[in-house]
Amino acid sequence: MNLTERLDGLDWAALLQRLDADGFALTGPLLSAAECAGLIGLYGEDGRFRKRIDMARHRFGAGDYAYFAQPLPPLVQALREALYARLAPLANAWHARLVRAEPQSAAAGSAPYPATLASFLRRCHEAGQRRPTPLLLRYEAGGYNRLHQDLYGAVAFPLQATCFLSRPGADYRGGEFLLLEQRPRQQSRGTALLPEQGALAIFPSAQRPVPLARPASGDSRPGRRGFVRAGMRHGVSTVTEGLRYTLGIVFHDAE
């Protein structure tokens, strides 16, 4: 099956429900072993990338990553476009919930995320965000990524994805994918994932709306009922053996 057929074969209703309920969703293997190997093989081709980052130098962790230059590899471009189209309705639903809870934060009824990636990127470019953000990440033994958020300017899409290109337990050990959610007035909640090669994790770029568990009695202010913002950060635990590669799909471009 081609990529479009594989994406169409996913249970998107269940994935979006999981994203809404838990703040992340994980697919089974979506990319083939050959596709994963092909992406990993690009890492040594300098002409493919606009910028490389040594994580230790910036105190981001230990490892390195590289942002693709335009034009993106066809597989990366196809993933970015197809995933955006499927995630935009949830992004708009999340935005609407936050507008209702925090009416001062945005105009009620606005839909900031158009149906296509091309339309959304035009908005990024109008705001001065023109540099592509999909990237390959590489970790050797001892490598890790500190918990962080991927925001590159004023215009941001609230969801992003990571595709796991290496085989846990075979190509590397350790290196769990970490998610940390912080809800208002609650302790943080952490999740560690070790997905299969080719699997895709979808999660918030920075925050998402979550329901208030216990609304204050008699308090009718919009921000005190319904939904509030929960902050989300992600990272990678220490790789203990081998090499770990991932593909990051961020939908907004960078300044």
Question: Tell me, which fold does domain 3-249 have in CATH?
Answer: Jelly Rolls (2.60.120)
88 C-beta neighbours (distance < 10 Å), count = 22
225 with 212: CB under 8 angstroms?
yes
Of the given ranges (130-134, 219-223, 250-254), which has the lowest mean pLDDT?
Answer: 219-223
- Please report, to the nearest 10 degrees, the dihedral formed by the alpha carbons of residues 27, 91, 152, 126 taken in order: 130
18 with 194: CB under 8 angstroms?
no
Average pLDDT, stretch 135-141? 98
Question: pLDDT tier at 222 (50, 70, 90 boundaries)?
Answer: very low
pTM of the model: 0.92
Percent of the chain with pLDDT over 90: 85
pLDDT per position as a tens digit, 41-54: 999 998 999 999 99
- Is the pLDDT confidence value at 111 over 80? no
Residue 56: per-residue pLDDT: 97
Taking the chain, what is the end-to-end CA distance rounded to the nearest angstrom?
A: 36
Question: pLDDT tier at 79 (50, 70, 90 boundaries)?
Answer: very high
pLDDT per position as a tens digit, 184-212: 888 999 999 999 999 999 999 999 999 98
Percent of the chain with pLDDT over 70: 91
80 with 249: CB under 8 angstroms?
yes
- Is the pLDDT confidence value at 112 over 50? yes
Domain boundaries, the chain: 3-249
Whole-number Å distance between alpha carbons of 15 and 12: 5
